[in-house]
Amino acid sequence: MNIKKLLEDVKDNNVDIDSALEQLKDLPYENLGYANIDHHRRLRNGYPEVIYCDGKSDDHIIGIVEKMNEKGSNILGTRCRKETFEKISKLYPNAVYEELSKIFKIKNEDIVDNGKGKILIISGGTSDIPVADEAYYTAEFLGNRVERLYDVGVAGIHRLLNNRSIIQSARVIVAVAGMEGALPSVLGGLVDVPIIAVPTSVGYGANFKGLAALLAMLNSCASGISVVNIDNGFGAGYLASTINKLK
């Protein structure tokens, strides 16, 4: 569907308003053949467009960026290989890359912080940083105040307790941990805000690529905790933003 054409038709009285409304309700997808781009959310709430790059060819990614950029949207790309970014960067010099978290950002509009509080990203260890940073940059790009507190895992409980005031100042917490995944359980006893637990695939042996942390988080004896997929920093940052923006 060509939205512009439709709006012109409305203006020219070729299409009446009700009928236009109907067409608009279900159809803000743009069909590229290999992909249906969803301009829906952005129209409604100023959200950026997001591309999950993993498993897509460079040509497809660039094709999608192109279409999105035409709308003047802010664009966020996750799991982006460095080589792919370098191609994007040549075409869009304002593109920025975060190496650890493999995120790229193209900012065409100012990002407005319209969250109601602060989102806190906590990681258990140094090796969890790539996932934690994916959550951090996602939430930030979606228009939130975000803070980081890293390497405060439960085996040194005082590292965590000494930061109690920072922890208790958050409206939403994203808790990122690998290995035994116990961080959210301890946090759950310290605060009353929602905690989004992100298991990471950090560890070895009977960790089974994050399964150990995932199961631990699902079985947390604390309340107020829910879990996203292993290594899914983006999902956690997105959900944190959704909660933080609730009126």
Using CB under 8 A, which residues numbered 81 to 100 contact a copy of itself? none
| The one among 20, 43, 62, 215 contacting a copy of itself by CB under 8 A | 215
**Angle of CA points 218, 223, 228, to nearest 5°:** 35
171 binds a copy of itself (CB under 8 A): yes
Report in angstroms how near the CB of residue 67 gets to a copy of itself at its nearest. Answer: 13
Q: Residues for the chain: how many in total? A: 247
Q: Using alpha carbons, select from 243, 156, 126 the residue that is nearest to residue 195.
A: 243
182 binds a copy of itself (CB under 8 A): yes
Radius of gyration of the chain, Cα coordinates, nearest whole angstrom: 20
103 binds a copy of itself (CB under 8 A): no
175 binds a copy of itself (CB under 8 A): no
- The upper half-sphere exposure of residue 46, i.e. CA atoms within 13 Å in the direction of its Cβ, equals 15
Report in angstroms how near the CB of residue 7 gets to a copy of itself at its nearest. Answer: 18
Please work out the total of residues on this chain that contact a copy of itself, with binding judged by CB under 8 A. Answer: 93
Cβ atoms 55, 34 nearer than 8 A? no
Q: Of the two residues 93 and 205, which places its CB atom closer to a copy of itself in the complex? A: 205
7-66 residues near a copy of itself, rule: CB under 8 A? 26-27, 29, 33-36, 38, 40-41, 44-45, 50, 54-56, 60
Q: Of the two residues 11 and 128, which places its CB atom closer to a copy of itself in the complex? A: 128
Could you give the CA distance from residue 113 to residue 132 in angstroms, rounded to a whole number? 20
4 binds a copy of itself (CB under 8 A): no
Instruction: Identify which range of 13-21, 68-76, 85-93, 147-155 contacts a copy of itself by CB under 8 A.
Output: 147-155
Report in angstroms how near the CB of residue 93 gets to a copy of itself at its nearest. Answer: 26
Instruction: Identify which range of 69-77, 89-97, 106-114, 230-238 contacts a copy of itself by CB under 8 A.
Output: 230-238
Beta bridge partners of 50: 76
117-136 residues near a copy of itself, rule: CB under 8 A? 117, 124-127, 129
Q: Using alpha carbons, select from 119, 80, 84 the residue that is nearest to residue 100.
A: 80
Instruction: Name the amino acid, one letter, at 57.
Output: S
Q: Using alpha carbons, select from 201, 135, 140, 189 the residue that is nearest to residue 160.
A: 189
- The upper half-sphere exposure of residue 186, i.e. CA atoms within 13 Å in the direction of its Cβ, equals 23
